[in-house]
Structure 1
Amino acid sequence: MTEKDRFKQAEFAAMVGVAGNIILAIINGVIGVLSDSRALIAEAVHSASDVAGSLAVFVGVRAAKQPPDEDHPYGHGKAESIAAIIVAVLLFLVGFEIGKASFEALFNKIEPPKLLAIYAVLLSIIVKEWMFRYTFKLGKRIKSDAIIVNAHDHRSDVYSSLATLAGIGAAIFGPRFGLDWLVYADPVAGLFVSILVIKLAWKLGAESIHSTLDHVLHEEDVVGLKETVKNITQIKKIDELYAREHGHYVIVDIKISVDPHITVEEGHKIGKQVKQKLMREHENVQNVFVHVNPYSP
């Protein structure tokens, strides 16, 4: 897959998220007001915040595809991780607001929502689950942190909608069977969902920050890179090899030892061969910086 195709698919996935969340926000908001469901109105607010999250992903993907320049010689790949952090922060704030509103509702007299609210929640579950499966599969294939985080955001919405469905269902049918206290199942469900959302936001935010802080691949992840270099016969030893993550690609810093009696030009050719071989045989390697040392037993 070419870089152009990768970014084209990532941008399309982000716009699918924007369109889907706008539609769900409008539907849930209108039906939430008509059916007098606080949980559904919270779902609408959640979907509206997801629009901002998907737009952040879209902007991050657009920025990440810019080629290296004088100020950014390593490229703009980290823009995706930064976008992922923004989504995680938005998710955390929404989770907190939903929890706050649900907690306050427990101390006020409320009326059960209308049956129409259940149909809206069922629609949200179906749409959000499809959006998760599509974006997660795509994010893994194109190795995009931002798209993967956005996919998990969609999955958290499925859990949110399931809890909302349970709360609305209990609030509607409980009083019909003399269980008037079940009318508070709606805000209780909202409180439960907020905890799930906050927990997920914390996890995804921590992972994205870890990737942004010049994280290097672990030893077991660079075995293939080292094997590629070892196949070059002129290299006596690999002194150091670090592969730094920059969003969907990695930058390799490597120190090699060669025969100390060869010419500078010959050493340069060996270093150039290392760079070309790593970039040719490993599609996630975007650039390689080689330092040539004289070999000493």
Structure 2
Amino acid sequence: MHSKSLIAIWVSLISNVFLTLIKIIIGLLFASPVLVADGIHNAGDILATVAALTSSMVSKKPADDDHPYGHGKAEVIAAAMVAIILAIAALWIGYQSTLSLINPPESESWLPLIAAAVSLVWKQALYIYTIRVGRSENSKSVIATAYDHLADVYASLAAVIGLGLALAGSKLDWEWSVYGDPVAGIIVALLVLKLAFNIGKDSVDILMERTVPAEKLAGYEKLIGGLEEIKRIDRVRAREHGHYIIVDVRVGVPSHYTIQRGHDIGREIKRCIMEYDTDVIEVMVHLNPWNEGEDEGKGGDKGKGV
């Protein structure tokens, strides 16, 4: 699990360094502002990938005295950093595109178009690879990196369309074609800004300890309710902690049970939930007394914090 995430991030980092150099060098040599802007966007991706790499290594560290719940939120912090970098890149692309709209380039060359096309195909392949690894490993930083690649796909697509229109227009005397590049860039800037917002919102939700989806909670409750010795489900809560989940359970059991029997019930609840959902790494169980004649099912001390 650990190695797959790290390999995906290292592949992304090496690719971003290579593409950044190619785009900036070719963009400067052939005076292509859209390619230079795309290259600077890729330079921001290097910072984002380094953040993802660092966080992925930190998040896998075991719990310690200072971090008893583990280091999983390191990945969430990195995802938030990626969102900020994407937002800055979107503003940069929009700014450069606006300048190009006011002062369109006089001529275009085939080499910048080829460079943009290679970047488009490469980044699409990287997106497919990293999103699969990120989802299979439930790695927030790898998923954020994948969406960063998707933003690059949009940017490269805009560059291909803009440069292609400019080249075609120079051959066919389409005066309006020189505006294809900046208009496409502005549209891409808005798409990248939306991606940044979605990644940032998800990171903030996890940092604020938003609950897991309702269907997951329902699955946990169904498992717990199926155990014979559980007479009442008082409360089930769960929160994401980066690439793993922590669950809190409060249930009612017969008040005459011994401590040993209660301990065994708690271990059984933990086993059932962790086998049902492999993303769960910790289940904290609190047992409340249940007496004959009380209602079974849900209820009890729910909301009382007992």
Q: CA deviation at 1:56?
A: 0.9
Instruction: Give me the whole-angstrom Cα distance separating, in 2, the residues matched to 1:204 and 1:240.
Output: 30
Task: Tell me the SS of whatever aligns to 1:248.
Answer: coil
Alignment match, 1:3: none
Question: Which amino acid counterpart does residue 92 of structure 1 have in structure 2?
Answer: A
Provide structure 2 residue ranges, at least 5 long, that are not aligned to the other structure.
Answer: 295-306
Shift of 1:149: 1.7
- CA deviation vs aligned residue, 1:87-128 (integer Å, no higher than 9, x gap): 011000011011112212322363222111111111001100
Amino acid at match of 1:242: R
Quick one: which of 245, 252, 255 aligns to 2:247? 252
TM-score by length of 2: 0.91
User: Quick one: which of 45, 48, 71 aligns to 2:43?
Assistant: 48
- 1:155 corresponds in structure 2 to 150
Could you tell me how far apart the structure 2 residues matched to 1:33 and 1:218 are?
A: 48
Q: What residue in structure 2 maps to residue 268 of structure 1?
A: 263
Q: Which position in structure 1 is the counterpart of 2:164?
A: 169
In structure 2, C-alpha distance between the alignment counterparts of 1:277 and 1:83, rounded to whole Å: 32
Range with bigger deviation, 130-139 or 173-182: 173-182
Q: For structure 1, which segment, 88-97 or 221-230, has the greater mean C-alpha deviation from structure 2 after superposition?
A: 221-230
Identical positions, percent? 37
For 1:91 and 1:200, how far apart are their aligned partners in 2? Answer: 8
Partner SS for 2:187: helix
User: Which residue number corresponds to residue 136 of structure 2?
Assistant: 141
Q: Is contact 1:35–1:115 with CA below 8 Å preserved after alignment?
A: no
* Equivalent in the alignment of 2:211: 216
Say yes or no: does 1:197 pair with 2:184: no
Please state whether the residue corresponding to 1:221 is helix, strand or coil. Answer: helix
After superposition, residues 172-191 of structure 1 pair within 5 angstroms as 172-191=167-186
Whole-Å separation in 2 of the counterparts to 1:99 and 1:277: 51
TM-score normalised by L of structure 1 = 0.93
SS in structure 1 of the partner of residue 232 of structure 2: strand
CA RMSD of aligned residues (A): 1.5
**Partners of 2:20 and 2:39 within 8 A in 1:** yes
Residue 282 of structure 2 aligns to a residue whose secondary structure is strand
Q: Secondary structure at the match of 1:222?
A: helix
Q: Which of 272, 277, 281 pairs up with 1:282?
A: 277
Q: How many residues align?
A: 292
Shift of residue 226, structure 1, vs aligned partner: 2.0
Asked whether 1:26 is paired with 2:13, we answer no
Greater Cα offset, 230-239 or 195-204: 230-239
